[in-house]
Amino acid sequence: MSQSTSPDDVDLIQLLTPTGQRVDRPDYSPRIAHLDATALRGMYRDMLLTRRFDTEATALQRQGELGLWAQSLGQEAAQVGSGRAASPQDMIFPAYREHGVAFVRGLELTKILRQFRGIDHGGWDPKDHNFHLYTLVIGSHTLHATGYAMGMQRDGVVGTGDPQRDAATMVYFGDGATSQGDTNEALVFAAVNNAPVVFFCQNNQWAISEPTSRQSRVPLYRRGQGFGIPSLRVDGNDVLACYAVTSEALERARSGGGPTFIEAFTYRMGAHTTSDDPTRYRSAAEEQYWRDRDPIDRLLALMKAEDAVDDAWLAELDEEATAFGEHIRTTVRSFERPSSDFMFRNVYAGPHAIVDDERAWFEAYQRTFVDVSATAGGH
Amino acid sequence: MPVFEKFKMPDAGEGLTEAEVVVWHVSVGDRVEVNQPLLEIETAKSLVELPCPFAGVVTELLADIGQVVEVGAPIVVIDVDPDGAPDQLVEALAVTEVAAAALGQAVPRPPAEETPRTSVPIGDLEAANHAGLAGSGIEGGVADDAAAAAGAGAAGAAGSGAVLVGYGVSAAGSARRPRVGMTPIGADLPVVSTAPSASAALAAPAPAAHTHPVLAKPPVRKLARDLNIDLSSVTPTGPGGIVTREDVLAHVERSAAAVLATYPGDEMPWLDTGTVSADGRQTRVPVKSVRKRTAEAVVSSAFSAPHVTVFQTIDVSRTMRLVEKLRNDKEFADVRVTPLLIAAKALVLAVRRHPEINASWDDERQEIVYKHYVNLGIAAATPRGLVVPNIKDAHRLGLHTLAVEIANLTATARTGRTSPADLSDGTITITNVGVFGIDTGTPILNPGEAGILAFGAIRQQPWVHKGKVRSRWVTQLALSFDHRLADGELGSRVLADVAAILGDPAQGLVWG
């Protein structure tokens, strides 16, 4: 196994081994002590339904229903573990693969598919779940998140000591983004301003076809240390460890302790997007190595060992997942094209003369078509 | 009642316009589930499996293996209510027509391709648009020019200016839409003379009825005469029904290239997708896929690496005895042992003694790249053509593992599932021409490699053995090598070592 895919065990924070055995760590085990069987089942359900959503969306792309799809396959533990550690008042900035975080935040997942179908620039109101829109530009949102966190400082919602009030920002990005200028600038600003932001880097080993080994001479979390930010590496396929380290980091941020850089060591089991063919640049042996470390199997092994789950519950979940898949398919197929003035609506907060002109021109242009009235969605 | 749904070729990448059908996983009559793999396609970017969007029964496959299909064109028809009465078919088709009419068109569909199709043949505006035939007389009108001048705002509506997402989602959405105030469609459409659909015949003037003299200018008449074409058989598109020069040339092209009909079980699969010449004595087949890659590879290799080939004829009776012994060995019970296995092992051992042969010439940087691993290529004849997958790190494999790997690799190649990774980074290759009964040949190097061993047929022949003429198992070996980095001495020594081991496998113990 190459250096890029095997973590340096000394640095790796792990609370659950790949075979589902607990690891006792005085520093982090107390942070998951309160997670009982119900909580474990909840995490399992989140991960399983996220995967179902992802599988369904991939199939929909292959059926011509979506223009593109970015899979979350294999990264469910990193997303669900960290997402569950966040409080409702925390603000989350996802990249474009954080379907598991979206699910945990309570977003109706089919809303994500509006963008990938090309009928919407976003799909939801970020304020509804304190979950920002997906950002397709690599790393640019790390700056948005840092700025938002600095705004939280100015709003006085950091370090007040009131757990209902104190808030933080968390931003998700990948290994490739750590090589972007934007991300490095964000780390500079976050560090010197002591901003309440958690940088959650999912190192899934591949920036499209570029392995991490060609991106960095040091483990990625040490890039954070270079900016003077407390940084650590967690087993990204261990949902419990991801939960523990993220809750610690968010707590530090909310209390005024500043930023944290988390490198979740995980693996993109699918392609970069549906336009990518990973068999061209990585080996079947490497994929098998990570299939043996599947985050969902790992949690299931633990739950079975601790009698936290029975067959009836699993069967019920299976049925729920099937119905969920059906719901996704029917919802996507019934999406209607939004009216043509939709894209002009949220350009500025208030009315704007240029936008109004453009809207009027576009509506006139639309009326020259036989099959569509100016505002109707068409087929 | 039966309800027919068509699955259209999706854009499996970003902004792809076509894809080739590689294999069908279903056939007509099969019951299919949602998301069940239907077929594999090869796009410009990757090999992709397409899951079925419907549950039902496969009614018709609209594309053959090897056929390149435009994105948006239907590829399979599925009856999503197969338990209904069959006499409702007509009604289902009528619905399709109504749907087309709702798009603002009672449009004839010019045949998207020349293969006649039996079901769901009419009203398919989308396919026609994708084929680039419908609407071609409409584009570039005043309104469109205005749109172009107005810039980006219009581009989205017209389906151009592909962005990250949003195309390929709805074929109708990305096709050109009819505009107000334009010429009625059909009036100036070129009507393709072969296999016109019923509705096309209704809407367009029938070109065959010539009770009046054909209109054409004298130079066009001369052209037709020179080309030996009956002007009355040419479809006119000029103003007032005049036959233009372009009409004549288009007619020549169409009548010169007829699609060769092939059916499963035909004995000439290499003629698939070909076009037959006018006199019916030749077929021209576009070069693509594996054939194209093979051609590129051998040309680049043959004309950049100066090949030298050395030969040796040897007695391999001891190898045959070893093969026989291994076939009865419990440890090898699960795998087929062949002389090729021993030859592969012998070549790996020879490379170990002469690692300089396991190298690559980097012309651009003027360097020789020596490989400290052996990725052993095995040339395999597959239904799709020649592929040379390689066994990674063959130098680290024991005889049994090597046998398993050879078996896996050839089995995978035959099913056409060899991955690009399996094909890349080979270091040295064996081609087993012996399976065709051939003594030997002068093989062409796999590009990027410096040696290739041809393993000939093994026959019983008279041979001088221990001073007497005996019947022995004899074969001929040939090794081609890249003279830029390997001299005659090196190549000869490598071949001599392979021969020595095949002559007496015990030698492998000495060198192994």
For chain B, what are the domain ranges?
4-199, 205-286, 291-511
pLDDT for B227: 84
- Residue span(s) of chain A under CATH 3.40.50.970 come to 12-334
Q: How confident is the model at residue A93 (pLDDT cuts 50, 70, 90)?
A: very high
Determine the residue of chain A that is closest to B392 in CA distance: A283
pLDDT value at A373 more than 80: no
Query: CA of A313 to nearest chain B CA: how many angstroms apart?
Result: 25
**Its pTM surpasses 0.80:** no
Those of residues 122-151 in B touching chain A at CB distance below 8 A are: 143, 147, 150
**Across residues B103-128, what is the average pLDDT?**
41
Q: Which of B164, B167, B180 sits opposite A368 (nearest CB)?
A: B180
Query: CA of B363 to nearest chain A CA: how many angstroms apart?
Result: 24
**Rounded to an integer, what distance in angstroms lies between the CA atom of residue A55 and that of residue A70?**
11
Instruction: Say if CB A369 and CB B141 are below 8 A apart.
Output: no
Query: CA of A73 to nearest chain B CA: how many angstroms apart?
Result: 17
Chain B residues with CB inside 8 Å of A133's CB?
none
Instruction: Kindly report which listed range (A76-90, B106-120, B477-491) carries the lowest average pLDDT score.
Output: B106-120
Contact between chains at A63 and B166 (C-beta distance less than 8 A): no
How many residues are there in chain B? 512
Q: Which residues of B are catalytic?
A: 483
Percent of chain B with pLDDT over 90: 44
CATH number listed for the domain at residues A12-334: 3.40.50.970
Considering only residues B482 and B209, tell me which one the structure prediction assigns the higher pLDDT.
Answer: B482
pLDDT value at A3 more than 70: no
**Rounded to an integer, what distance in angstroms lies between the CA atom of residue A79 and that of residue A102?**
9
A344 lies within 8 A of chain B by CB: no
Considering only residues A75 and B215, tell me which one the structure prediction assigns the higher pLDDT.
Answer: A75
Q: Which helix (H) or strand (E) holds A197?
A: strand A197-203
pLDDT for A183: 98
Contact between chains at B165 and A115 (C-beta distance less than 8 A): yes
pLDDT value at A356 more than 90: yes
**Rounded to an integer, what distance in angstroms lies between the CA atom of residue B283 and that of residue B271?**
7
Q: Which of B49, B164, B178 sits opposite A371 (nearest CB)?
A: B178
SS3 A191: helix
**Rounded to an integer, what distance in angstroms lies between the CA atom of residue B349 and that of residue B462?**
29
Note the pLDDT tens digit of each residue in B178-189: 666 544 444 444
**Across residues B200-216, what is the average pLDDT?**
53
What is the CATH class of B291-511?
Answer: alpha beta
pLDDT for B116: 41
pLDDT for A6: 56
In whole numbers, what is the pLDDT of chain A averaged over residues? Answer: 93
pLDDT value at B201 more than 60: no
pLDDT value at B267 more than 70: no
B164 lies within 8 A of chain A by CB: yes
Which ipTM score applies to this complex?
0.78
Domain B205-286 has CATH 3.30.470.10: no
**Across residues A98-103, what is the average pLDDT?**
98
Instruction: Say if CB A71 and CB A54 are below 8 A apart.
Output: yes
Classify strands B380-382 and B307-315 as parallel, antiparallel or unpaired: unpaired
SS3 A304: helix
Q: How confident is the model at residue B137 (pLDDT cuts 50, 70, 90)?
A: very low
Contact between chains at B45 and A275 (C-beta distance less than 8 A): yes
Determine the residue of chain B that is closest to A116 in CA distance: B165
Tokens of B430: 């064996």
B455 lies within 8 A of chain A by CB: no
pLDDT for B85: 60
If one counts every other C-beta atom within 10 angstroms of the C-beta of residue A312, the result is 8
Q: How confident is the model at residue B253 (pLDDT cuts 50, 70, 90)?
A: confident
Domain B4-199 has CATH 3.40.50.1220: no
B161 lies within 8 A of chain A by CB: no
Tokens of B104: 């603002």
Chain B residues with CB inside 8 Å of A64's CB?
8-11, 168-169, 171
Considering only residues B262 and A253, tell me which one the structure prediction assigns the higher pLDDT.
Answer: A253
**Across residues B146-174, what is the average pLDDT?**
38
Instruction: Say if CB B309 and CB B476 are below 8 A apart.
Output: no
Note the pLDDT tens digit of each residue in A41-90: 999 999 999 999 999 999 999 999 999 999 999 999 999 999 999 999 99
Note the pLDDT tens digit of each residue in B65-106: 888 899 999 999 999 988 766 554 444 444 444 444 444 444
B286 lies within 8 A of chain A by CB: no
Q: How confident is the model at residue B176 (pLDDT cuts 50, 70, 90)?
A: low
CB pairs under 8 A between A and B: 118
**Rounded to an integer, what distance in angstroms lies between the CA atom of residue B69 and that of residue B8?**
10
Instruction: Say if CB B465 and CB B446 are below 8 A apart.
Output: no
pLDDT for B251: 83
Note the pLDDT tens digit of each residue in A225-244: 999 999 999 999 999 999 99
Q: List the one residue out of A163, A98, A179 whose CA is nearest residue A132.
A: A98
pLDDT for B261: 59
pLDDT value at B17 more than 90: no
**Across residues B104-128, what is the average pLDDT?**
40
Q: List the one residue out of B336, B342, B378 whose CA is nearest residue B473.
A: B342
Tokens of B207: 């070109």
Contact between chains at B178 and A368 (C-beta distance less than 8 A): no
Q: Which of B48, B169, B419 sits opposite A118 (nearest CB)?
A: B169
